Amino acid sequence: MAPQQSFTHVENELLPKFRKRIDEAESAREVEASFGDCVRELIGKASAGTVELAPDDIHLQPETASFLLGEDIRAQEAFKRLWDDSDMPRIVGRFAALAQHRHAHLAKKTAKTEAKIRR
């Protein structure tokens, strides 16, 4: 069994920018986009560009505080090694939890705003 790689240094580098982006997000859609952008940047830095990423490869699943990886990215051998032999799943999970919390807040805010408009 190969030793597990750690990318917490990349997480720590990206975390302040990610928090700022989701805090400034005005819609749930912006939170989802920020999550996807951050995870793509994380994987890009961790893989040194060996993993090819498309915008639709990573999706936030806000109702479950998790994420969905596209088939194209999961099929890449470089991604499989990175994902299986590192702390990448836990890091992406932490980003998903932060994004889900903000997503839920914005969803409530939107629902209240729409209720006020419909009165």
Q: In a 3-state reduction of DSSP, which class is residue 52?
A: coil
**Are 42 and 14 spatial neighbours (Cβ–Cβ below 8 Å)?**
yes
pLDDT digits (tens, 9 = 90+) for 8-24: 999 999 999 999 999 99
- pLDDT of the residue at 112: 54
User: What pLDDT, on the 0 to 100 scale, is given for residue 12?
Assistant: 96
Q: What is the pLDDT of residues 45-97, one digit of tens each?
A: 999 989 988 888 899 998 887 899 999 999 999 999 999 999 999 999 999 99
From CA 37, how far away is CA 76, in angstroms rounded? 19
For the record, the structure tokens of 79 come out as 């991604």
Domain layout of the chain by residue ranges: 8-102
Residue 2: per-residue pLDDT:
58
Span of 3-7, 95-99, 100-104 with lowest mean pLDDT: 3-7
